[in-house]
Amino acid sequence: MSVGIDQIYAYAPQLALPLPALAAARGVAPEKLTLGLGVEAMAVTPACEDVVTLAATAAGRCLRAAGVDPRSIGLLVVATETGVDHAKPVGIFVHELVGVGPQCRVYEVKHACYGGTAALMTAADWVRANRAQARRALVVAADVARYAIGSPGEPTQGAGAVAMLVGPTPRALFLAEESGVHAANVYDFWRPLDRREALVDGKFSIECYLDALAGAFRSCRALERPVLEDGEGLLDRFARVLYHTPFPKMAAKAHRRLLELDRRSVTDAEFEASYRELVAPGLTGVARIGNTYTASLYICLATLLENEARALAGRRIGLFSYGSGCCAEFFTGTIPAGAATLGPTGVRDALTRRRLVDVPTYERLLRDGERGGEPPADFSGDFVFQGIRNDRRIYARAREVLAA
């Protein structure tokens, strides 16, 4: 049974901090951030948004783009490491805000940035397990990436969400059933229960990412070995390769590692050519949104589909998902012929509607935390976080708040 992503839609908050401004405020060369890390800007959440409003906006727009009645969704999984409650899942707020019906399994999954892939694979298995009855699942990956002000991780923040409708008639991506995985208990990036900002052993986290990439890729390639021609690498079969992208330079490091694994040796010129063709086209969105943890890989996918769906129809792509802690998966998919009819996937819209903020504004928003608030008149989201009353989080439709 063919299963995959029927529709994908991304959303990022409309405020963004340009990285050269952050570099100036921290006294580092702007090239360190724009070239050394490859980040141009990072999305910043206004007071009236949180992970729930990001997830619900992406989810609602995904269902509308697909023309699917929310009440027909039988499984709703939200992947996040920005949970708003130790017991109540982000998904149940999304369930209400986008109008999913009561006959639905709703829960949250967590394994750092791998959570989005865990949710997607679970949803695909759920669809495959119900052969007699065509059902669709909604997966949302949403996060607000936060590190301490002035820390090395600070330029690798961001915020955003991606919603994916998973079903038996995919228009965005057929998912292959076989994939390679890798897991190990490592302390590379974590966030203790009482902290808002993540803790990270930055250089070690890069090593862990690359080790997990090698493990997952080797196990995926072993499954494909019987069908590879003599001397053919697995990467030769892909039109594009997408990576979890905490910052774009990480995808470049990852791609070089994979080329070395796949071909044994690689010259700088071969790496540059391969990176330009296979990897760079997927990175234009994340370079201007920043790290979105669980959503990062899927923002790359949404970017690719928005810009190249027609040209890539029928072609196979590779995808690598990494979650600190750690668990990783290298999987593959084929872009269906129908991808040409997908339409916008939200990335361009998010980038077009954005407003740049200065460093004092960004620092104030980060220090204040999510208190809730009134949306600005040009608010780009569909839902508003109004605040916490009687220990309960209050959400509303942006349209109604703005009309009142």
* Other CB atoms within 10 Å distance of the CB of residue 295: 35
DSSP classification of residue 346: S
Residue 40 designated active-site:
no
Find the binder of ligand CAA among 20, 83, 168, 202 (CB under 6 A). 202
Examine residue 298 and tell whether it contacts ligand CAA (CB under 6 A). Answer: no
The tokens 């390639």 sit on which residue? Answer: 221
Examine residue 37 and tell whether it contacts ligand CAA (CB under 6 A). Answer: yes
Minimal CA–CA distance to 12: which of 160, 146, 116? Answer: 160
Helix residue ranges, H only, 225-358: 248-263, 268-274, 286-289, 296-312, 347-352
Residue 113 designated active-site:
yes
Query: Residues touching ligand CAA: how many (CB under 6 A)?
Result: 28
173-175 and 73-79 strand pairing: unpaired
Minimal CA–CA distance to 124: which of 63, 161, 77? Answer: 77
Nearest approach, Cβ of 182 to ligand CAA (angstroms)? 14
Examine residue 31 and tell whether it contacts ligand CAA (CB under 6 A). Answer: yes
Nearest approach, Cβ of 14 to ligand CAA (angstroms)? 22
Examine residue 179 and tell whether it contacts ligand CAA (CB under 6 A). Answer: no
In the set 48, 49, 62, 81, the catalytic residue is 81
Residue 207 designated active-site:
no
Residue 146 to residue 324: CA distance in whole angstroms: 15
Nearer to ligand CAA, 246 or 333 (CB): 246
Residue 319 to residue 235: CA distance in whole angstroms: 11
In the set 62, 113, 208, 327, the catalytic residue is 113
The DSSP result for 6-74, as a single string, is EEEEEE--SEEEEHHHHHHHHTS-HHIIIIII---EEEE--TT--HHHHHHHHHHHHHHHHT--GGGEE
Stretch that binds ligand CAA, among 24-32, 50-58, 262-270, 281-289 (CB under 6 A): 24-32
Examine residue 311 and tell whether it contacts ligand CAA (CB under 6 A). Answer: no
Catalytic annotation, residues: 81, 113, 244
Which spans of this chain sit near ligand CAA (rule: CB under 6 A)? 29, 31-32, 35-37, 113, 152-153, 155-156, 188-189, 200, 202-203, 205-206, 209, 244, 246-247, 249-250, 291, 293, 322, 324
